[in-house]
Homo-oligomer: A and B are copies of this chain.
Amino acid sequence: MKFSIERGELLKAVAQAQSVVERRNTIPILANVLIEAEGSSVSFRATDLDIEVVNKAPAQVLSAGATTVSAVMLHEIVRKLPDGALVTLSDVPASGRLTIEAGRSSFNLATLPKEDFPVMATSEYAANFTAKAGVLRRLFDKSKFAISTEETRYYLNGVYMHVAQGEDGPVLRCVATDGHRLARIDAALPEGAAGMPGVIVPRKTVNELRKLLDNDEDDIAVSVSETKVRFATQVITLTSKVIDGTFPDYARVIPTGNTRRLEVDAAEFAKAVDRVATVSSERSRAVKLSLDEDRLVLSVNAPDAGAAEEELAVAYADERLEIGFNAKYLLEIASQVDRENAVFMFNTAGDPTLMREGNDTSAVYVVMPMRV
């Protein structure tokens, strides 16, 4: 194997490979990236056995072939090479080494046989469809903060992507929850997605996927089966196992009868919550919302440390209400709002509260109150 490649192309391809590779591996080959050169391109493949990513980059292939080297070390080397350099990689089968040359620098790295590299089995997918990168980004970006980190509730450790019945017909929906808060984000159902099984996309996959979604208008090919999901651009293919579990029936958590409506500038609200939360102890971080006609008072009382209070002008026309929330949860949902005012729908101080952006029901958040 021998090929020459522009340093920028190589860096991009290797960067994503090394981010999938786990830092600590009991199986040595999982620390490596599989490099396959053929035709006019080279592919870089990395896996942690749950996720596999393949990056293709254009290269001048002088002799086809394949080998594996440490993903982290290759990434570090390429990162440190000067911008614009032409990099030549060639394997020396006799010594079991890969040589990397650029300008007056030369490196050789230990390799492991390509035959040992665990390539993920190809699957039959139940549904294949195309979605714009911007649409997928919104679905996952606005829901992922609510993913649970409790390992015992493994079926909550991801985003539940499925087809659901929206107000105006079927939608592609992403839901995440940790039992304290929930995010439900809808998008128009892409053609061909109707028959897809609902899948729980693991947190790490959601984070890796994010790197494919930078350009709004890119077309992303999505394939879904009961056990796997695949997202692909022209150059990157990300395949991931999905979480083997049943996502809870989230619909009954979303309140439908909340009638007390608060409308508030989300950015002002978030800043005020952040300020008053300063005095609370790290653990509880409870913020009290006291609502009266067109007036919201946020307050925190931490007996040892101090107290804080801030008033905001809001739109509220219902009866007086005092309700408490975890400050972090309030901040996180308020920071999802980016176009209109945040609208909170309350019932009593003990019931889950709903939040959305203006009257848009395509992104809905639920947060459980705390006793204050």
Contacts and interface: CB of A to CB of B under 8 A. Distances in A.
B312 A104 contact: yes
A248 interface: no
B275 A81 contact: yes
A106 B308 contact: yes
A275 B109 contact: no
Interface stretch (A161-169, A206-214, A299-307): A299-307
Contacts of A110: 304-306
Contacts of A312: 104
Interface stretch (A35-43, A59-67, A69-77, A197-205): A69-77
A304 B73 CA distance: 12
A320 interface: no
Interface string A267-304: 00001101110110000000000000000000000001
Interface string A76-88: 1100111000000
Interface of A: 70, 73, 76-77, 80-82, 97, 104-110, 271-272, 274-276, 278-279, 304-312
Given A105-B272, A272-B105, A278 B308 contact: no
A278 to B, nearest CB: 5
Contacts of A279: 73, 77, 107, 109
B107 A278 contact: yes
A105 B306 contact: no
Contact of A275 (B105, B108, B310): B105
B76 A107 contact: no
A109 B304 CA distance: 9
A206 to B, nearest CB: 30
Nearest to A106: B309
Contacts of A271: 80, 82
A310 B76 contact: no
A308 B76 CA distance: 13
A109 B70 contact: no
Contacts of A107: 276, 278-279, 306-309
Contact of A310 (B97, B104, B109, B308): B104
Contacts of A73: 278-279, 305-306
B307 A275 contact: no
- Of A279, A306, A311, the most chain B CB neighbours within 10 A belong to A306
Contact of A105 (B77, B80, B309): B309
B276 A306 contact: no
A309 B99 CA distance: 11
Contact of A108 (B108, B307, B310): B307
A-B pairs, 8 with minimum CB distance: A109-B306, A107-B308, A105-B310, A104-B311, A80-B275, A76-B278, A77-B278, A106-B309
Given A73-B305, A278-B77, A278-B80, A310 B272 contact: no
Contacts of A307: 107-108
A98 to B, nearest CB: 8
A307 B105 CA distance: 11
A107 B300 CA distance: 9
Given A73-B278, A77-B275, A105-B309, 6 more contacts: A81-B275, A104-B311, A105-B308, A105-B310, A107-B279, A110-B305
